[in-house]
């Protein structure tokens, strides 16, 4: 498939399970030779391509069993093959809705021992982080949800503490000096505070 070629996965024997795993379940049974874009979910192709490259960076050889399967398995493999620094940063970046530098730096100060311990460029370059026209970055929603579920299950106290910290941070940015001058930024902070309060 063209996308996997662009993602520098050249081996046809590895492309086949990647493509099968990325098929949209909404389309039912499909002809394996069908290369229609709408038949596939690019997110799962990208996750598998990232897993492929993470395996190679670790000095290992990607194998057939590293790819394909259902969507939760693809996501679990991606998380399993992350090196520890990227895993730590992606976990923390999964808390706010937007991957905003000021928020991430505040989280690094509070939960990673300082901003110097967080090289956010390590995750900005990954395909799981998208950038909107206005410059807003965000994690792919499926990845963010999976990471948040993992955080809630594996580290419930930290999960609670980070959401409380984010609530406080956003709530402090809701108010302005002039109650008549509520901006779009105030609205966004209010909505974020509510989300973290219930998180």
Return d(Cα 76, Cα 129) in angstroms, integer.
Answer: 17
Helices (H) and strands (E) in the chain, counts: 10, 2
The CA-atom distances, in angstroms, between 164 and each of 24, 29, 155, 169 are 36, 45, 14, 9
Residue 151 pLDDT grade (very low, low, confident, very high; cuts 50, 70, 90): very high
Report CA 44 to chain centroid distance, whole Å. Answer: 12
Residue 96 pLDDT grade (very low, low, confident, very high; cuts 50, 70, 90): very high
Return d(Cα 26, Cα 97) in angstroms, integer.
Answer: 27
* Domain spans, the chain: 2-80, 84-198
Q: What percent of the chain has pLDDT over 70?
A: 82
Selection from 35-44, 61-70, 168-177 with the highest mean pLDDT = 61-70
Can you give the pLDDT at residue 94?
A: 94
Count Cα atoms within 13 angstroms, Cβ side, for 186.
10
Residue 198 has pLDDT above 70, yes or no: no
Mean pLDDT of 70-98: 90
């Amino acid at each position: 498939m063209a996308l996997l070629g662009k993602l520098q996965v050249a081996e046809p024997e590895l492309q086949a399970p990647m493509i099968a795993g990325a098929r949209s379940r909404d389309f039912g049974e499909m002809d394996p030779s069908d290369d229609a874009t709408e038949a596939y979910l690019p997110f799962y192709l990208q996750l598998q391509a990232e897993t492929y490259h993470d395996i190679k960076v670790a000095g290992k050889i990607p194998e057939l069993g590293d790819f394909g399967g259902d969507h939760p398995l693809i996501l679990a493999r991606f998380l399993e093959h992350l090196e520890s620094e990227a895993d730590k940063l992606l976990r923390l970046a999964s808390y706010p809705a937007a991957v905003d530098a000021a928020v991430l730096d505040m989280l690094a100060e509070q939960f990673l021992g300082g901003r110097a311990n967080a090289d956010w460029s390590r995750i900005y370059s990954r395909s799981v982080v998208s950038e909107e026209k206005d410059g807003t970055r965000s994690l792919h929603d499926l990845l963010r949800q999976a990471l948040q579920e993992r955080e809630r299950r594996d580290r419930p106290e930290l999960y609670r503490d980070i959401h409380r910290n984010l609530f406080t941070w956003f709530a402090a940015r809701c108010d302005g000096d002039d109650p008549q001058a509520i901006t779009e930024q105030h609205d966004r902070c209010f909505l974020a505070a509510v989300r973290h309060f219930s998180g």
